[in-house]
């Protein structure tokens, strides 16, 4: 059991508590986890390592809130969700600072993307629920009419990862509560801060107590207790593929509804006929945004042979110009990796790539940032691989590391693009329409971007195939996941 620290031990100590029934609580067993600031490697706070009993309390609060919340009018639910969105926007700076400190991401990114997107999630689903209609089917000649009810499930569990902490946490919570469910949610133990702050915002917005309950803790204890809880009827999970498979095994005997958004190893396919400058700038972003720690990053770059050498030279020039620095500095492009163990994992993949005859074209080393020597900084790294089957090309690294290699034909690149266990997203750069259609049809991925990357319309389905997951989030897909369809057939 980790000792409870206070602000006598650490200046500006950040104490995070569970948010249950609208109030903040210490964990029942007074068991705590240290929370590190990746930019300087120091402990700056603690979070509860919540037990089964804490999860049970969160469940009870959610269960008690459910009858009333599920009967709350759509207009009222919508009003509260939109209020949460407005309060997040009003608190942008505070949330962005917390996210950057917790995760190591540049504050500019947190301000421009993460927190605004969390606000959009609430606004979007606050509006979407008022447009969520159910079908009816008239059985002609049988004097019967069928209509479908979309009923909230009850108490649902939402479990999210550390890479886009509030963005992904709210991407689950917002549709769950919009659809009339009550929630037991767990953010990543590595990045708990903004989820904690969200509790205050929910109270201020007038979200009735117990509708959202946030328990902090380790995956194997707190997360496991949520998944194992026999009355938490659905689990929406985003995280690693191994964890997803484990959750599926635990949940299957209880026939829980599952949405699993898992890992990726996304191809970025570049044809010579693309808009070169646009492709180059976007490829730098799709490779290294958020230190490459986005499930959608294009970690395998395939370049048509005729422009391969030119691309290689231009890409490396741009990558070398990226500034690795403290996340709070406005001109930092690459902040800190999220944790020491994660930094070690990414470094190990660079070593494996070298052993497998990969050539490190740039990067590959840790960076010492003056004044923050114990932070987890790594150079953006480009590795030229001898073939597409080496481990660094097949396994998810989830850091500022991309591989590049040339291809000759459309068939060759399609084969390589699809020859991984994952199938989350893919990016294609070409101005040839027929090729666009052919390749988009054939790519094994849930999302294909053509001549762009990570452009998101929240109405569209989001999710992966193969080991990248099961189910779709986004738009009405998310509202369908968080409701049970019941058909009523009336004979007249
Ligand atoms: P992770 O699987 O280690 O953890 C994710 C969450 O699951 C955390 O909250 C963790 O505490 C919890 N957890 C761990 N073990 C659990 C268990 N036994 N029962 C219940 N919960 C448990 O993943 P991570 O390292 O936090 O995140 C990185 C991974 O997430 C990468 O693989 C990345 O590709 C993936 N990811 C996927 C998407 C997507 O939309 N497909 C988005 C972001 C991240």
82 and 110 assigned to the same domain: yes
CB 299 within 8 A of CB 404: no
For residue 474 and ligand 1, the question of a CB distance below 6 A is answered with no
180 and 243 assigned to the same domain: yes
191 and 284 assigned to the same domain: no
254 and 272 assigned to the same domain: no
Distance 98 CA to ligand 1 centre (A): 20
DSSP state for residue 267 in the 8-state scheme: E
Please state, in angstroms and rounded to a whole number, the distance separating the CA atoms of residues 293 and 399.
5
Q: Which helix (H) or strand (E) holds 237?
A: strand 234-238
293 and 224 assigned to the same domain: no
Nearest 5°: CA angle at 166, between 396 and 202?
A: 155
283 and 253 assigned to the same domain: no
**In-domain check, residue 9:** no
**In-domain check, residue 425:** yes
Tokens of 16: 């995070």
**Any catalytic annotation for residue 182?**
no
Q: Which helix (H) or strand (E) holds 245?
A: helix 241-251
Q: Chain-centre distance of CA 403, in angstroms?
A: 22
Distance 161 CA to ligand 1 centre (A): 4
194 and 233 assigned to the same domain: yes
**Number of domains present in the structure of the chain:** 2
Full domain range(s) for residue 482:
14-262+468-489
**In-domain check, residue 287:** yes
387 and 256 assigned to the same domain: no
326 and 388 assigned to the same domain: yes
- The crossing angle, in degrees rounded to 10, of helices 74-90 and 165-178 is 160
**Residue of 158, 295, 297, 390 marked active site:** 295
**Any catalytic annotation for residue 135?**
no
Give the position, in ligand 1's atom list, of the atom nearest the Cα of 159: 9
Question: Looking at residue 276, which CATH number applies to its domain?
Answer: 3.40.309.10
CA pseudo-torsion sign 359, 363, 364, 365: positive
For residue 264 and ligand 1, the question of a CB distance below 6 A is answered with yes
**In-domain check, residue 1:** no
**In-domain check, residue 3:** no
For residue 186 and ligand 1, the question of a CB distance below 6 A is answered with yes
292: left (phi over 0), alpha (psi -120 to 50) or beta: left
Q: In what order do the strands lie in the sheet with 136-139?
A: 136-139, 144-152, 483-491
This model's pTM is above 0.75: yes
Please state, in angstroms and rounded to a whole number, the distance separating the CA atoms of residues 89 and 99.
14
**In-domain check, residue 463:** no
Tokens of 153: 């499930």
**Residue of 261, 384, 396, 473 marked active site:** 261
Name the residue with the closest Cα to ligand 1, atom 10. 219
**In-domain check, residue 7:** no
Please state, in angstroms and rounded to a whole number, the distance separating the CA atoms of residues 235 and 255.
11
216 and 281 assigned to the same domain: no
Pocket test for ligand 1, best of 173, 219, 235 (most atoms within 8 A of CB): 219
For residue 224 and ligand 1, the question of a CB distance below 6 A is answered with yes
151 and 94 assigned to the same domain: yes
161-163-167-171 Cα dihedral, nearest 10 degrees: -40
Question: Looking at residue 129, which CATH number applies to its domain?
Answer: 3.40.605.10
Name the residue with the closest Cα to ligand 1, atom 18. 220
For residue 116 and ligand 1, the question of a CB distance below 6 A is answered with no
Name the residue with the closest Cα to ligand 1, atom 9. 188
**In-domain check, residue 5:** no
List per-residue pLDDT tens for the chain, 492 residues long: 577 887 777 777 889 999 999 999 999 999 999 999 999 999 999 999 999 999 999 999 999 999 999 999 999 999 999 999 999 999 999 999 999 999 999 999 999 999 999 999 999 999 999 999 989 999 999 999 999 999 999 999 999 999 999 999 999 999 999 999 999 999 999 999 999 999 999 999 999 999 999 999 999 999 999 999 999 999 999 999 999 999 999 999 999 999 999 999 999 999 999 999 999 999 999 999 999 999 999 999 999 999 999 999 999 999 999 999 999 999 999 999 999 999 999 999 999 999 999 999 999 999 999 999 999 999 999 999 999 999 999 999 999 999 999 999 999 999 999 999 999 999 999 999 999 999 999 999 999 999 999 999 999 999 999 999 999 999 999 999 999 999 999 999
Name the residue with the closest Cα to ligand 1, atom 13. 219
For residue 247 and ligand 1, the question of a CB distance below 6 A is answered with yes
299 and 247 assigned to the same domain: no
Please state, in angstroms and rounded to a whole number, the distance separating the CA atoms of residues 135 and 50.
42
Give the position, in ligand 1's atom list, of the atom nearest the Cα of 164: 43
Distance 244 CA to ligand 1 centre (A): 8
For residue 296 and ligand 1, the question of a CB distance below 6 A is answered with no
CA distance to 15, 79, 181, 299, per residue, from 68 (Å)? 32, 16, 10, 46
């Amino acid at each position: 059991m980790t000792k409870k620290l206070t602000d006598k031990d650490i200046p500006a100590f950040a104490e995070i508590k569970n948010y249950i029934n609208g109030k903040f609580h210490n964990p029942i067993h007074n068991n705590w986890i240290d929370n590190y600031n990746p930019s300087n490697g120091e402990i700056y706070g603690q979070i509860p390592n919540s037990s089964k009993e804490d999860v049970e309390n969160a469940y009870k609060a959610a269960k008690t809130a459910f009858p009333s919340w599920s009967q709350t009018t759509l207009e009222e639910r919508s009003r509260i969700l939109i209020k949460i969105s407005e309060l997040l926007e009003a608190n942008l700076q505070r949330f962005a600072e917390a996210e950057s400190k917790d995760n190591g991401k540049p504050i500019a990114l947190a301000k421009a993307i993460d927190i605004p997107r969390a606000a959009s999630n609430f606004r979007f689903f606050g509006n979407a629920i008022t447009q969520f209609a159910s079908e009816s089917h008239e059985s002609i000649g049988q004097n019967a009419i069928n209509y479908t009810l979309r009923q909230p499930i009850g108490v649902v569990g939402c479990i999210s990862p550390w890479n886009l902490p509030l963005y992904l946490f709210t991407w689950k919570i917002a549709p769950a509560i919009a659809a009339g469910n009550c929630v037991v949610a767990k953010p990543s133990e590595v990045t708990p801060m903004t989820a904690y702050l969200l509790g205050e915002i929910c109270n201020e917005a007038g979200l009735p107590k117990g509708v959202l309950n946030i328990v902090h803790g380790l995956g194997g204890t707190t997360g496991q207790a949520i998944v194992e809880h026999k009355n938490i009827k659905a689990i929406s999970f985003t995280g690693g593929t191994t964890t997803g498979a484990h959750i599926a095994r635990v949940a299957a005997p209880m026939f829980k509804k599952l949405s699993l958004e898992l890992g990726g190893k996304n191809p970025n396919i570049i044809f010579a006929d693309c808009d070169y400058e646009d492709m180059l700038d976007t490829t730098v972003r799709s490779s290294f945004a958020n230190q490459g720690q986005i499930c959608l990053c294009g970690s395998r770059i395939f370049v048509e042979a005729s422009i391969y050498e030119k691309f290689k030279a231009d890409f490396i020039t741009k990558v070398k110009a990226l500034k690795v620095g403290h996340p709070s500095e406005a001109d930092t492009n690459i902040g800190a990796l999220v944790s020491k163990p994660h930094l070690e994992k990414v470094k190990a993949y660079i070593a494996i790539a070298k052993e497998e005859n990969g050539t490190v074209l740039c990067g590959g080393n840790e960076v010492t940032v003056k004044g923050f020597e114990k932070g987890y900084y790594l150079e953006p790294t480009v590795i030229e691989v001898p073939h597409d089957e080496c481990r660094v090309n097949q396994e998810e690294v989830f850091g500022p590391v991309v591989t590049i290699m040339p291809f000759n034909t459309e068939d060759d690149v399609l084969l390589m693009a699809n020859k991984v266990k994952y199938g989350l997203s893919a990016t294609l750069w070409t101005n040839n329409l027929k090729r666009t259609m052919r390749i988009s049809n054939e790519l094994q991925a849930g999302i294909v971007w053509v001549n762009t990357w990570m452009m998101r319309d929240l109405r569209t389905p989001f999710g992966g195939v193969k080991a990248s997951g099961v189910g779709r989030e986004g738009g009405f897909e998310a509202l369908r996941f968080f409701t049970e369809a019941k058909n009523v057939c009336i004979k007249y």
